[in-house]
A and B are shown apart, each in its own frame.
Chain A
């Protein structure tokens, strides 16, 4: 069965790039810019992987991550966090909140693909 990834990212060009490379790898890719709207959907029907931006309108990536780790269905969900701020403090906070992988933008496509594979054991 085709694995499912959800990308929460507000930069349309970046989410389009992620969709392209992950689709090319055989994933089913859903994209959203609105984390708050996605939270319920995530709890009800968790994807196999979540790629999460930090600077988002409304709820920030950290807040979304915290809600996910508090929810029963999503406690173990693999989350790859991408950030353009690239400060040490952000990485530390993400790890404290239980992020699976943390990468700074701009990223190499190959690195993202490798991380995704590793996180989902495929």
Chain B
């Protein structure tokens, strides 16, 4: 295939990616991003883990070392399946704190330390540059391999030149879709979607080559397995130590790689996507690694000796004349490489611009005291510059090293580099005691060791470290030899570097954390991070655009109170000779406002708030720390105050309630005494008047004498009954009544009550309607008291049911252990407004139908029913007066200590 054809194909593919990315961006901007935020897109974007190293290098790795290439997939699989709790916490913290990169994450956790941000950024760039170079190399390599006829290509096929143009193209793509806007949560739907498409392409390509190899070159899986056995080389034997080390390394890499952090955490839109990814991503890894070994084995069998096994995926189809398949394979490799470069350069550029370039620029600007400008444009420009810078670095590395390394080696070197961030990252998530000093020292230690034992030697003897240093150690110190530090000679260089760098990193991190004292800001942040799940709301954001008086007024109102804030603003406007509430933002005004606010929230907070709002100053870390400690003090103080005032108001409420209760009781007592007085004096009046008449009157007929004596007698009885009722009520109300519990037939009790009530207005005809069957219930209760209640209701009906044909219906039913007896007469009933009153003491509704009662009857009934564990209620809407008496069929013997609040509330009624 011609070179130009290949370039055109690549261009067409890139244009497709552009189209996909811009469509996704448009959809996201228009708010139609539903499908963009699916867990599948998220999972596919994670496949940025699988770079050209995976696509081409894994086969080479398999050809050289057998199944060992699997370790690179096993690590991530273990993390996603077994430790996704960690990922979930990482994602949650990342989103709530609007973390923009792994450097931002570590810096934010350790007191927003920019020093840490710088260290992490430098480390990521150092580890990421060779990796990006590796991708450029693989693309240019695949170009040269693909073009069969070198003469046709001529000068244009210079690999370095190809790499250069690829770097330019990728920088362009990343800038267009990675820096369109300066979004607060730093998400790039266009990039993510393009990556997802590339993920599909590379998987399909590798599977297609695999299927071709297994079923068309070989005769099927069995054949392949036989050929694998035949090929088995001595170096293919599994080395458990090395396997463990490599699995650990790739597990760390999936967490710490800047590009993985970018897609896993920064681009994550929902926690639950992670749940899908926890099985879908390992599945993707499984599929992409499925055909690696078959391709390697067939390649070694068929390809001429000396051909690069790293390119088998591409060269095998070409060699077998499958140009179409080769093109697909080429696009797969192209996808793998470009997606890695795009995401890595985006992630690295974010770090470089946020932690190095922008802080530097701000410092320079502050020194020159320049006017404030639009920061957003600045940040975007810096971001674009950083992307170019990262790619230039990658390109330079490629040119310098000459692209001679085996792909897998570079990948693993980068892995060990990024692994140095693991201790600080885990500390950030799980250890509140981890401090900034410890993290910085650990990171630097790990980075230095990585540099010395792995990175620098990787260039080969003589480039950075002389052969003599490699052989005998610097200054002849043998224990400092890069590949056998402290005399450790048994490990291969990779594991040796991993072992020492991580071990000393962790040690220094822990010791540094124990020995240093965290600043207030660190304490605040560590609580926010480690206890992320304890909080619900999002973290406070300090970013605020340039402000107007209109923006400052709400702040002032929020802190000073609405009217106070408005008054202050009006007074200030007045001072400036302006009407209304909005003074000009003058330095004098800001000073006055700051002073005013600092009275409420403390000086540091007031300063920081205004500085943020007005946008004329950058809030320094020191400012923020002062704010944090001040806020902590204020919060503690106000929490104490709150607790105290809550306690006070609780006490006050209790007192008020007790007071109200006493007042109510006092009023009730007065009314009760007044009622009793009336009820006692009335019969007493008759008795006294007639006894005086009988004393004074000389001539009195015997009839008159008898009549008057009868009245005196009746009124005396009335008086006695009143006193009896009062005593009865008192005993019942205080729960001191002695109940005589026995088991009797309800029907018999009703019979007895009806007979007893017949003495009331015995001359009136009164029909009782009963259904005797349901009445056949054995009840265990105080029969005498229950009968008293029945008699009272029946007597009342006889007295008050005034109609031509007075009658009463008695209905009995039992449900859930409760017996209900309804007494319904056919009289006028009780008016709605009186229904609530009838059970109160002395609540005789009418005096016209005076029947000698004092109005205590129903009150006594109610107390009796309460004592029997039941109730009596008026049932409205039954056609006449209707009372429902309900009580438990079997009354349990009363517990002695029942007299409590209930008695008090009864008395209060």
Q: Which A residues have a C-beta under 8 Å from some C-beta of B?
A: 10-14, 16-18, 20-21, 24, 33, 55-57, 84-87, 104-110
Contact = CB atoms under 8 A, between A and B. Distances in A.
B682 A84 contact: yes
B799 to A, nearest CB: 15
B693 A109 contact: yes
Contacts of A12: 850
B847 A106 contact: no
Residue of A11, A18, A24, A56 most packed against chain B (CB within 10 A) = A11
B850 to A, nearest CB: 7
Contact of A85 (B674, B693, B848): B674
A20 B715 CA distance: 18
Contacts of B715: 13
Given A17-B690, A21-B689, A106 B684 contact: yes
Contacts of B685: 11, 14, 17, 84, 105-107
B468 to A, nearest CB: 119
Interface string B672-700: 00100110011011111110110011000
Contacts of A107: 685, 688-689
B143 to A, nearest CB: 113
A55 to B, nearest CB: 6
Contacts of A10: 847-848, 850
Nearest to B682: A84
B848 A108 contact: no
Residue of A55, A57, A84, A85 most packed against chain B (CB within 10 A) = A84
Given A11-B685, A16-B711, A84-B681, A108 B847 contact: no
Residue of A13, A18, A104, A105 most packed against chain B (CB within 10 A) = A13
A21 B686 CA distance: 12
A108 B690 CA distance: 10
9 smallest CB-CB distances across A and B, nearest first, come from: A17-B689, A84-B681, A13-B686, A106-B685, A105-B685, A106-B688, A57-B847, A109-B692, A84-B678
Nearest to A20: B693
Nearest to A34: B848
Contacts of B689: 14, 17-18, 21, 106-107, 109
Contacts of B696: 109
Contact of A87 (B674, B697, B711, B846): B674
Residue of B674, B689, B693, B715 most packed against chain A (CB within 10 A) = B689
Given A24-B697, A33-B848, A57-B847, A105 B690 contact: no
Interface size class of B (residues with CB under 8 A): 20 to 34
A113 to B, nearest CB: 10
The B contact surface, by secondary structure, is helix
Interface of B: 674, 677-678, 681-682, 684-690, 692-693, 696-697, 711, 714-715, 846-848, 850
A62 to B, nearest CB: 15
Contacts of B690: 13, 17
A55 B678 contact: yes
B687 A106 contact: yes
Given A20-B693, A84-B681, A86-B681, A108 B688 contact: yes
A107 B681 CA distance: 10
B677 A84 contact: yes
Nearest to B688: A106
B697 A57 contact: no
B846 A106 contact: no
A13 B712 CA distance: 9
Nearest to B707: A16
A14 B686 contact: yes
Contacts of A86: 677, 681
A13 B710 CA distance: 11
19 contacts: A10-B847, A11-B686, A11-B850, A13-B711, A13-B714, A14-B682, A16-B711, A55-B847, A57-B846, A84-B685, A85-B674, A85-B678, A85-B681, A87-B674, A105-B684, A106-B687, A107-B689, A108-B688, A109-B692
A84 B673 CA distance: 12
B686 to A, nearest CB: 4
Contact of B677 (A11, A14, A57, A85): A85
B837 to A, nearest CB: 15
Contacts of A18: 689
Contacts of A13: 686, 690, 711, 714-715
Contacts of B686: 11, 13-14, 17
Contacts of A57: 846-848
Contacts of A104: 681
A52 to B, nearest CB: 15
A17 B682 contact: no
B620 to A, nearest CB: 77
A39 B846 CA distance: 20
B437 to A, nearest CB: 83
Contacts of B687: 106
A42 to B, nearest CB: 20
A53 to B, nearest CB: 10
A109 B690 CA distance: 9
Given A10-B848, A13-B711, A56-B847, 7 more contacts: A14-B685, A55-B847, A87-B674, A105-B684, A106-B685, A107-B685, A109-B692
